[in-house]
A and B are shown apart, each in its own frame.
Chain A
Amino acid sequence: NAGVMQNPRHLVRRRGQEARLRCSPMKGHSHVYWYRQLPEEGLKFMVYLQKENIIDESGMPKERFSAEFPKEGPSILRIQQVVRGDSAAYFCASSPRTQGRTYEQYFGPGTRLTVT
């Protein structure tokens, strides 16, 4: 059973370009979460999605950032007009449908975004 998959693992973008990060959840998981991690810091929640729905985007910057989880295909985190401050590791996690129970989140290997 493959784990959470993210690609690319490393992404370099110049200021002003767009960054597109992909996440495929574990098989059978329908919940996806995106977190951002700066060097030597903990992960910061960005957005929580289910298929075709954004459930909680309280951690997403209001501008330039967007996320989707379509019916078919991976979840996408899109950053438009990147700036140097967007340089970070972006992690995706997935969990199964909650059904009232608590499930741990399984993390992918992350995408390291560098903005030059």
Chain B
Amino acid sequence: GESVGLHLPTLSVQEGDNSIINCAYSNSASDYFIWYKQESGKGPQFIIDIRSNMDKRQGQRVTVLLNKTVKHLSLQIAATQPGDSAVYFCAERERGAQKLVFGQGTRLTINP
């Protein structure tokens, strides 16, 4: 069954604020985690990834944090823009495997 889930199904933020999207996972054998953004009618778009030997990784306006002790993953988006409106999925991959296990997703909406 699914081992990746999200704490909140929807998140609404003001434009310009920071967004934090959370994800819990239960498979301790997972060693690779990815955040995807999916806009309506489109396929998932890679945002950022992190391996289990890291706690934090930064990209352009995005940061992923990994807490292996509590099996928690988060995506932080700085200065949220209207174009960030989408559904965000976390996904994990078990060590030695190739398939991704996705969470249900969080819908991020931006208030002007």
By a beta-carbon cutoff of 8 Å, the part of chain A in contact with chain B is: 4, 31, 33, 35, 40-45, 48, 55-56, 58-59, 91, 95, 98, 102, 104-110
Contacts and interface: CB of A to CB of B under 8 A. Distances in A.
8 contacts: A31-B98, A40-B105, A43-B44, A43-B91, A48-B98, A56-B97, A56-B99, A109-B43
Given A31-B98, A59-B99, A104-B34, A91 B105 contact: no
B103 A109 contact: no
A90 to B, nearest CB: 10
A108 B99 contact: no
B102 A44 contact: yes
Contacts of A105: 34, 46, 100
B51 interface: yes
The 7 closest A-B pairs by CB, nearest first: A42-B102, A107-B43, A45-B99, A43-B102, A107-B44, A109-B43, A42-B104
Contacts of B34: 104-105
A106 B93 CA distance: 15
A104 B99 contact: no
Given A102-B51, A110-B43, A58 B100 contact: no
A22 to B, nearest CB: 15
A43 B42 contact: no
B100 A106 contact: no
Given A41-B104, A91-B44, A105-B34, 9 more contacts: A35-B100, A35-B102, A42-B4, A56-B97, A95-B98, A102-B51, A102-B93, A107-B44, A110-B43
B18 interface: no
A95 to B, nearest CB: 8
A43 B34 CA distance: 13
Contacts of A33: 98-100
Nearest to B46: A104
B98 A108 contact: no
Contacts of A48: 98-99
B64 interface: no
A58 B46 CA distance: 24
Contacts of A102: 32, 49, 51, 93
Interface in B98-112: 98-105
